[in-house]
Amino acid sequence: MKTSCKAGRLAIANHLARAGVAATGLLLALPAAAHPGHGLESGFAAGLLHPVTGIDHLLALLAVGLWSRQQQHGHVLVPTFLVMMALGAASSGGVHLPALELSIAATVLLLGVLAACAPRLQQRVPPQVAVLTVGACAFVHGLAHGNELTGVASGAGFILASLGLMLLGAVPTGRVRRPLGLTIGAAGVWLVALAG
């Protein structure tokens, strides 16, 4: 029984990894700019800088990394975020979410609280709920950032930098995790107040 469950989990992880590659391809296939001269708004370097220049996105990425380190089956949260963010970016021209800035701020608050409370919630938050939560938050972030990315190079830089920030968020250990999660959650409260 345990062997079949483990094989099932590995199969799910493999499917998510493949979906991550496919979604990355979708993001990289964003329409290229019709003319050159976009300055800091285009190119690989602009994509790399994009996630670190917005505090809301930066904090959400760090929180996902932090939560993934503590959540049971957390190894699927980072690829899930990348896949859903790419899908959100790819559909950003056709999907309009009212109060988008407020929604993004709310994701920072939610992810920060989940990261701070992860040890206590681990048995109460099923892995499927964790994946759905992270996926929904990522899709919202993708909607917001999709229109800001121009071309393949900036999309690739954006994905790479986002991955790096989530992996950085997974680094803190022990006593640092809870205060960091609470700090991100508190910043989320501040962002919600600003957006509201």
User: What pLDDT score was predicted for residue 183?
Assistant: 94
DSSP at 144:
H
Say how far apart CA 157 and CA 119 lie, in whole Å: 33
pLDDT in tens, 51-107: 888 899 999 999 999 999 888 778 899 999 999 998 888 887 777 778 889 999 999
Please state, for a pLDDT cut of 90, what percent of the chain lies above it: 38
The Cβ of residue 114 has, within 10 Å, a number of other Cβ atoms equal to 24
The Cβ of residue 49 has, within 10 Å, a number of other Cβ atoms equal to 16
Structural contact between residues 107 and 81, judged by C-beta atoms closer than 8 angstroms: no
User: What pLDDT score was predicted for residue 7?
Assistant: 57
Please state, for a pLDDT cut of 70, what percent of the chain lies above it: 76
Q: What band does 155 get if pLDDT is binned at 50, 70 and 90? A: confident
Structure tokens at 108: 């920072």
pLDDT in tens, 107-135: 999 999 999 887 776 667 788 999 999 99
User: What pLDDT score was predicted for residue 30?
Assistant: 39
The Cβ of residue 123 has, within 10 Å, a number of other Cβ atoms equal to 8
Instruction: Decide if pLDDT at 189 tops 90.
Output: yes
Q: How far is CA 36 from CA 41, 42, 157, in A?
A: 11, 9, 18
User: What pLDDT score was predicted for residue 31?
Assistant: 37
Structural contact between residues 191 and 100, judged by C-beta atoms closer than 8 angstroms: no
Q: What band does 6 get if pLDDT is binned at 50, 70 and 90? A: low
Higher model confidence: residue 179 or residue 145? Answer: 179
Residues 6+ apart with CB under 8 A from 98: none
